[in-house]
Chain A
Amino acid sequence: MSNGQPQIVIDKVSHMYRPPRGKPVLALDDVSLQVGTREFLALLGPSGCGKSTLLYLLGGFLPIEKGAITVDSKPVAAPGPDRGIVFQHFALFPWKTVRDNILYGLERQSMPKDERLARAQSFIDLVGLSGFEDSFPSQLSGGMKQRTALARTLAFDPKILLMDEPFGALDAQTRHLMQGELLNIWQRTPKTVIFVTHDVQEAVYLADRVAVMTARPGRIKTIVDTKFDKNDPGIFKTKVFVDKVDELWGLVRDEAIKAERRKV
Chain B
Amino acid sequence: MKSALLRYLPLLLLAIAWELVSRLGLVSSSALPPLSDVLKSWYELLLDGDLTGNGFASLYRGGMGLLLAVVVGAALGIAMAWWKPANVLFAPIVEIFYPLPKSALIPVTVIWLGFGNGSKILLIFLGCMIPVTIGAFNGARSSEQTLVWSARSMGASRLRMLWDVVLPSAMPELLNGIRTALALSFILLVSSELIVAREGLGYLIGFLGANGSYDAMYAVVLTVAFLGFAADRGYQMFMNWMLQWREQTQ
Which of A4-12, A90-98, A123-131, A220-228 touches B? A90-98
Selected A-B contacts with CB under 8 Å, 11 pairs: A61-B152, A80-B153, A84-B154, A87-B149, A91-B149, A93-B164, A95-B245, A105-B154, A108-B156, A138-B248, A158-B153
Minimum CB–CB distance from A38 to chain B (whole Å) comes to 20
Query: What separation, in Å, do the CA atoms of A80 and B156 have in the docked complex?
Result: 9
Interface members, chain B 146-169 (any A CB < 8 Å) = 146-147, 149-156, 160, 164-165, 168
Q: A93-B147, A93-B168 are in contact. Are A81 and B245 (CB under 8 A)?
A: no
B155 contacts A80, CB within 8 Å?
yes
Interface members, chain A 73-96 (any B CB < 8 Å) = 78-81, 83-85, 87, 89, 91, 93-96
Query: What separation, in Å, do the CA atoms of A78 and B150 have in the docked complex?
Result: 12
Interface members, chain B 110-157 (any A CB < 8 Å) = 144, 146-147, 149-156
Q: Could you say which residues of chain B place their CB within 8 Å of the CB of A85?
A: 149-150, 153
B146 contacts A87, CB within 8 Å?
yes
Q: Could you say which residues of chain A place their CB within 8 Å of the CB of B149?
A: 56, 59, 61, 79, 85, 87, 91
Report if B2 contacts A (CB, 8 A): no
Q: Could you say which residues of chain B place their CB within 8 Å of the CB of A87?
A: 146, 149-150
- On B, residues with C-beta under 8 Å from A are 144, 146-147, 149-156, 160, 164-165, 168, 171, 244-248, 250
B248 contacts A109, CB within 8 Å?
no
Known: A95-B245, A108-B154. 8 other contacts (CB 8 A): A60-B152, A61-B152, A80-B155, A83-B153, A93-B165, A109-B155, A136-B244, A152-B154
Q: Could you say which residues of chain B place their CB within 8 Å of the CB of A79?
A: 149, 152-153
A95 contacts B155, CB within 8 Å?
no
Q: Could you say which residues of chain B place their CB within 8 Å of the CB of A91?
A: 144, 146-147, 149-150
Query: What separation, in Å, do the CA atoms of A223 and B154 have in the docked complex?
Result: 31
Q: Could you say which residues of chain B place their CB within 8 Å of the CB of A93?
A: 147, 150-151, 164-165, 168
Query: What separation, in Å, do the CA atoms of A257 and B152 have in the docked complex?
Result: 36
Query: What separation, in Å, do the CA atoms of A56 and B171 have in the docked complex?
Result: 27
